[in-house]
Amino acid sequence: KMSVNSNQVITKLISLGVMANINQEIDHDTASIIAEEFGFIVVKHEDEVASEETNEQEMLDFEDKEEDLIERSPVVTVMGHVDHGKTSLLDAIRETKVTEREAGGITQHVGASTVKVNDKRIVFLDTPGHEAFTAMRARGAQVTDVAILVVAADDGVMPQTIEAINHAKAANVPIIVAINKIDKPEANPDRIKQEITEHGLVPEDWGGDTICVPVSALKKQGIDELLEMILLVAEMEELKANPNRRAKGTIIEAELDKGKGPVATVIVQKGTLKVGDAVVTGTAHGKVRAMIDDKGKRIKEAGPSTPVAILGLSEVPDAGEHLYVVESDKKAREIAENRKEKIRMEQLKTTQKVSLDDLFEQI
Ligand code: GDP
Ligand code: MG
């Protein structure tokens, strides 16, 4: 295509230190450099780009063997209509169950809390509501194993209750209904059960399979029962992960801290994330410089279903991005740079398209 003969190409290759012969295949990068030497710019064919991306994704997203999987803790999201008590319920759980912050611990908002129940753990995402849930799902991220649907017993099923039900169903996440505010004289749990039944959630005591727990976030009633039910549902889900592999997780929130630089909270989903690991998440890459758990304690390792704040990323990633540990810093940077380049190309395509359209309009 360049109309130069093979000898010229081979000579150029050799001058660049590649001892090539005429039957040799050279990789894309080398070919691009050579082409540039002859004054050409190489553009990758879209199929080629797509297949490289699939390979990259396969390399990052490898499956584990069944025998390597062990039980992991459930990750829970609290959803429901505004003012039905999501925040109060999370506070009540935290106040009754979360152990004190480490003395001398680091004040670092982690965006999730770990609760110990008997010898098990439950992870609660701090951001309630289905907006967070939807934002994550829009990125193909699913971190939630169990959804708690809070419905105020003095109010009933409302628009956001229905939305929450639909989101959880679409994501195939089991729902536990927390009928809240039962301390109120006008509370009517039976009416709530009637209303949720109309939306396909038939309570267990009515012959269905939806677990309903009457609670009062205000009076801290029913909290233990609710936690037990979460563990029961989690057990039925048979949540498992392989802790002995390169970690994969999802960013649940991230921010730029003036002193610490980009800080991202990750829920580790597979494998064990370690300080010193090379990671890539979206267009951010880096080496995990430090990890802080939800108690403000510096930790060196975080296994499946552990929320941790990590330091050391090159930029602030978006919530919902997957985070992968890769073999080296170099690889992490390479993947991040490729992703950036792709975004740049996409943007270029759109702007070019727009300006062409504008041009035609003018003609
Ligand atoms: P959110 O919008 O779903 O996060 O709801 P909040 O947790 O902010 O609660 C809304 C209001 O309901 C607040 O004034 C709470 O004090 C009140 N509230 C929450 N839970 C209960 C409860 O169990 N009983 C009563 N009486 N009030 C509650
Ligand atoms: Mg709230």
pLDDT digits (tens, 9 = 90+) for 254-294: 999 999 999 999 999 999 999 999 999 999 999 999 999 99
Q: 78 and 164 in contact (C-beta within 8 Å)? A: no
Contact 166, 139 (CB under 8 A): no
Among protein residues, the one with the nearest Cα to ligand 1's atom 9 is: 85
Closest ligand relative to 91 C-alpha: 1
How high is the pLDDT of residue 210?
97
What is the reported pLDDT for 235?
A: 94
Half-sphere exposure of 278 (CA within 13 A, CB side): 12
Assigned token pair, 132: 């967070």
CA distance 179 to 196: 11
Mean pLDDT by 10-residue block, N- to C-terminus, for the chain (363 residues)?
86 84 81 86 72 74 91 95 94 79 68 90 84 74 91 95 91 95 96 96 95 97 97 95 96 93 96 98 97 93 97 95 95 94 82 64 62
If you compute the radius of gyration of the chain from its CA atoms, what whole number of angstroms results?
26
Q: Give Dmax over CA atoms of the chain in angstroms.
A: 92
Mutate to test the pocket of ligand 1, among 83, 84, 88, 219 (most ligand atoms within 8 A of CB): 88
| Nearest ligand atom owner, CA of 219 | 1
As a whole number of angstroms, the distance between CA 38 and CA 59 comes to: 34
| pLDDT of the residue at 334 | 94
Q: Which two tokens stand for residue 319?
A: 């919530």
CB 199 within 8 A of CB 168: no
* Integer Cα distance of 98 and 78 in angstroms: 17
117: exposed, middle or buried (Cβ count in 10 Å: 0-12, 13-18, 19+): middle
What is the model's pLDDT at position 1? 80
Distance 129 CA to ligand 2 centre (A): 8
The Å distance, Cα 127 to ligand 1 centre, comes to 16
Question: Alpha-carbon distance 83 to 88, whole Å?
Answer: 9
Cβ-based neighbours of 117, under 8 Å, separated by 6 or more: 97, 224, 227, 228, 231
Q: Atom of ligand 1 at shortest distance to CA of 84? A: 3
Contact criterion met (CB below 8 Å) for 265 and 252: yes
User: Within 64-207, where are the H helices?
Assistant: 86-97, 130-138, 159-170, 189-197
Render pLDDT for 150-203 as a digit per residue (tens, 0 to 9): 999 999 999 999 999 998 998 899 999 999 999 999 999 999 999 999 999 999
Q: Return the ligand 1 atom nearest residue 88 CA.
A: 7
